[in-house]
Chain A
């Protein structure tokens, strides 16, 4: 394995905060980086892992809570390598674990998957007359022990404890990683000089386990170490940013490259239908829209709202007719997700808000479900808290459409403020039946 590769610097594509984060990663042992949605967390990871390699912190274990997230980081690393025309030896970067998503979404990256690396090597041995398959195990182990960058989910990382010790651990979306998993990752470090880099957003959703002892270790680390906040976001336009900015104390700013983006840039045509509701909702200049069901469609058993599903379906059809295909439909409730799956066109990404943390789309449609007359706001709104709303609002690049009952939702202070913000931007619409 060639370990003496020289990696060029990638300074030209970084902003000030990203540079600061990189500087700290190079000089400190434990570095927390806070990155709100779309602020380039994956970019920082992909860049700094090459810095760490230069400083002999290898192998580097890069983890994230889901395969989708880890595949996204791998694509960034590959992008850098392609841009710099760097050819790495086989097995230098290894993607370990469930690669179903990778094979589907980034099929060109399957060369990095562990199985493919080992199988390719064994096939080449086989074709050269070397046919001792028992050695496949030691070959595979060698690949692991000589790898420089290993990408896997924090769950799959547990498999590797017996065979490798790492020089640096980078944990993406660390806010989602529970205390136990995080501890497991840290224990894979070779020695006390190893680097720990945790990147996430403490304002987004906590670990899935609600047990308080499984609270995010990320929050604890943030309390003990100075944090670098990535505040320039590269995902969504200014209107969407304004929806979530209060939550980040107005520290975030949209990069000039995205500040004015809208559906006009990607739609093949404007909405040509006759539905008055859709004409208003799908206007290119409306980047944030609240569709008020006006209490007509009440929530039903198991937190479902069929009326909202019908509205969402019409909006989705409208978007598709405009040629906008990259759409996320999300909702806080599993049963509502099931209903959407049942009624909406196949091929649209549908899921609960929690599932979509870390993902993005051109347009997001959110069905808020709750519509009731309950006085207690907790009973009225349920578990749609600030982090969950924040995740939901920040998935889209160009347009966020929220479908819900204003009278119910305004009982939550954050949602009430968000609806006010949308109203100020002329995005508040009442659905006419």
Chain B
């Protein structure tokens, strides 16, 4: 577990310690916040939503709020806000979509999926000495490997046709193949050069880390972990003795494994381009996060994998990362609207934060200033509310899988029914143990995350529950992101799995829409007026009470 010492109720009275002696104290307008990277104190949001009580009833959100969950922004959000404070007030700050949908994103995601899957398939074949790849002749091996890339590209466009359709892309394959044409050759060369080594390297695609010690959430495209010689030889000998079963190393166990080197690979669509400052900061934050999570003493190698060549990050500025987190907390806890005016002429984020345009306070009338403050607080409230839902996945890590199962929020000790795996239809069946029907809170159509037991660490795909059979103790899943294959390489299919509820996409959509709708719609004025009246009435009531007493 990454959060062994996690304290869900942190006190608010420590300092920020950073490795370079750059010590900062953060004081917000209302609270003194404390982030101490050397102990387990973490940020939590202020949950006293004063002035918005309109007699609502108790809901699951209230309950989550009482639990006092942690708000963890995504690394990309932190990287953005380091360069523009206005970005902090944008939805993207929380790692959520804020820009208009573009086809580039869909194509890029597809390339991403295809590369990862092909890499896993090829290395898996090498490990298993399967006929798919092995050949004494290098050219034959190479062409077979390239076929895997093309086959997966065709497969992806065939299977994900609906994604492309709703994105209005009619013929995605040529664009995808253009990128792969250059990239596949290069990757194949790398794989075969390191062939013997690849047999013992642990690959982890889409490795997610949500770490409350450093309040950040990261997703690494591919993690390559090379074990120390002793560990490696032991594993090799196991291969030789055909004891490949149960060789899967769970994400939690990775922490204690003796590691010689670790590499983070981030896949970038298109040809090489110079890294921006935002990319660099993001890389630094990812490296720092991984170091803390896997107990690494040295920074892991960091590679941006473009279609035509790789780029590496060599110098890391961790102080900047910590400073940025610090700043985030400060802004997050502030209760007054920002004094941001106009746009930066040389904005490093370009259009990243255009949605948040402010005119100078001096040019506003009293009423307009009140309105702005109300609008700011309201928008802040929206972000808080949705982020609370979003952080459900962080909340679940606070308890063991067994405990979560007892409370109905998880089902653990599940094993894959290997005969049920259907890669084309992206379906499989998980079989539970005797305690299977103790779960009480899952239903068909619900979104779940599948993990080793810790949904905040590892390569954990998402799926929708399609069927629950109490008699068979089975649960049938459909993987809508085509990431089922994470569960079947390196003999992970023999390992025990846990499913947790996971559905935050509706939150993202609502939040994005609500935020822009609020600011663009004429209803916004009505709402602000209503809010103002409520506040006024309350103030009047308070005054009357004071007079009476």
Contact = CB atoms under 8 A, between A and B. Distances in A.
Contacts of A383: 57-59
30 contacts: A67-B445, A100-B464, A100-B467, A115-B162, A133-B157, A136-B158, A137-B165, A137-B171, A141-B165, A141-B170, A144-B165, A155-B506, A158-B513, A162-B166, A163-B165, A178-B510, A178-B514, A181-B510, A183-B513, A183-B521, A210-B57, A211-B381, A211-B382, A212-B531, A334-B441, A338-B440, A341-B441, A383-B59, A385-B57, A388-B57
Interface string A211-238: 1111001001000000000000000000
B517 interface: yes
Interface string B380-391: 011001000000
A128 interface: no
Nearest to A333: B58
Contact of A158 (B170, B470, B509, B526): B509
Chief secondary structure at chain B's binding surface: helix
Given A180-B514, A208-B59, A338-B441, A136 B161 contact: yes
A138 B170 contact: yes
A67 B526 CA distance: 32
B166 A104 contact: no
A137 B517 contact: no
A212 B52 contact: yes
A133 B158 contact: yes
A107 to B, nearest CB: 14
A140 interface: yes
A412 to B, nearest CB: 13
A67 B443 CA distance: 13
Given A141-B168, A211-B52, 13 more contacts: A100-B466, A101-B445, A133-B161, A136-B161, A140-B162, A158-B509, A162-B167, A163-B166, A178-B514, A208-B59, A210-B57, A210-B61, A214-B510
Interface in B345-396: 378, 381-382, 385
B286 to A, nearest CB: 30
B474 to A, nearest CB: 14
B238 interface: no
Interface string B492-532: 00000000000000100110011001100101001100110
Contacts of A341: 440-441
Interface of B: 52, 54, 56-62, 101, 157-158, 161-162, 164-173, 378, 381-382, 385, 408, 438, 440-441, 444-445, 464, 466-467, 470, 506, 509-510, 513-514, 517-518, 521, 523, 526-527, 530-531
A98 interface: yes
A364 B444 CA distance: 22
Interface in A140-155: 140-141, 144, 155
A125 interface: no
A307 B64 CA distance: 27
B171 A134 contact: yes
A297 B61 CA distance: 28
Interface string A151-190: 0000100111011000000000000001111011000000
Contacts of A209: 61, 385, 510
Contacts of A137: 161, 164-165, 169-172
B113 to A, nearest CB: 17
A209 to B, nearest CB: 7
Nearest to B378: A213
B35 to A, nearest CB: 28
Interface string A327-351: 0000000100111011000100000
Contacts of B464: 98, 100
Given A183-B521, A209-B510, A134 B165 contact: no
Contact of B513 (A180, A210, A339): A180
